Amino acid sequence: MSFEPIWGAIIAWYLFLAGLGGGAFITSAFLGWRHPEAVNMRKVGHLIAPIVVIIGLCLLMFDAEGGLHNPLRFALLLTNFGSVMTWGVVFLGGFTIVAIVVVVLDFLKKSVPVWLDIVGVLFAVCVAVYTGALLGVCKTFPLWNNALLPILFLVSAVSAGMASVLLVAVVRHADEFNRVGVLKKFHFCLPIIELVLVASLMFITSFNSVAGWNSVMSLLVGQYAPLFWIGLVLIGLVLPTALETWLLFFSPKEFEESRKAHWISFGSDAGVLVGGFLLRFLVVVAALPVTITVPMM
């Protein structure tokens, strides 16, 4: 029996953009703490956060056709606090409000109070973890129903958020880009952690059940293998790790600050973003349910 995925690319984009927004806000807060001189990069992160999250929410409403035809029904989203999706609405709502307030403060050239940064970061972490927990509580899908997924999505969210801020900085604020060494080193570590998490997810899920094995095999050797190996693993994780290892630890300092190196970083960050989306997409579409009598493929 073949299985038609319940959710598709739209939901994958939404999960990615929600995580990306949270990650961008966390990046800004990190910059404020470790690189307070990188004022413009901080503002870039503040601006990316609400924009991508709002785009993601629009996609979500577009996918929920019952609500799209009757928008008032969206007000009912806050009625069942036993549902992870309801909590997601709370986190996304809170995060979007904080993120917009911060953008307004930036626009008015006022400083963002530390407590607001902390509240925003807490919401951002909740949003990123929620995108994993949303899928994670569906017991029927072994690829989702495990404790690794929320952590994997959180790491990927922060990684994508940092990549987005660094990517814009290459184009707009090259001087600041050269001075955020600590951020770059953190950003460098994340795809490596992600590689370990993805490998663990594949390994453990394949031993979980027939459905788990079939899901993993569709990623590793089946219909999603080209996207998984070339898109996610190579472009999204290995290439950024290799390029950044070379730039950060083996290339001469003069080269690291050259324009050529900046564009190499740009390519590596773009790869991280591609990988971030593909991670959500592949996890959403490759998951197969545990069935009653006949396994699905």
Partner 1 sequence: MARYGMLINTKKCIGCYACRVACQRQNDLLPEQDFIRYEEHETGTYPNVSIETVPLQCMHCEDAPCVAVCPTGAAYIGADGIVGVDEGRCIGCKYCMAACPYQVRVHNEKTGTVDKCRFCTVSAETSGTKMCSCVEACLTNARIFGDLDDPDSDISKEIAATNAQPIAGDLTKSKVFYVR
Nearest distance in Å: CB 215, partner 1: 14
Give least dist CB 275 to partner 1, A: 24
Going from the C-alpha of 161 to that of each of 42, 55, 153, the distances in angstroms are: 12, 15, 12
Please report how close the Cβ of residue 74 comes to partner 1 at its closest, in angstroms: 6
Token pair, residue 117, equals 């940064």
Radius of gyration of the chain (CA): 20
Which positions from 61 through 100 interact with partner 1, judged by CB under 8 A? 63-70, 73-74, 76-77, 79-80, 82-86, 89
Residues 274-293 within binding reach of partner 1 (CB under 8 A): 289-293
Count of residues touching partner 1 (by CB under 8 A)? 37
* Cα distances (angstroms) measured from residue 67 to each of 58, 71, 166, 249: 12, 5, 37, 51
d(CA 185, CA 287): 33
Cα–Cα distances in Å, from 93 out to 96, 97, 124, 127, 151? 5, 6, 11, 10, 21
User: Taking CB under 8 A as the rule, does residue 7 contact partner 1?
Assistant: yes
Q: Does 10 bind partner 1 (CB under 8 A)?
A: no
Q: Tell me: does residue 257 bind partner 1 (CB under 8 A).
A: no
State which of positions 100-139 bind partner 1 (CB under 8 A).
134-135, 137-139
Measured from the CB atom, the residue of 222 and 295 that comes closer to partner 1 is 295
Instruction: Match 């870039």 to its residue by tokens.
Output: 44
| Rounded distance between C-alpha atoms, residue 95 and residue 102, angstroms | 11
Q: Please report, as ranges, the residues that interact with partner 1 according to CB under 8 A.
A: 1, 6-7, 60, 63-70, 73-74, 76-77, 79-80, 82-86, 89, 134-135, 137-141, 289-294
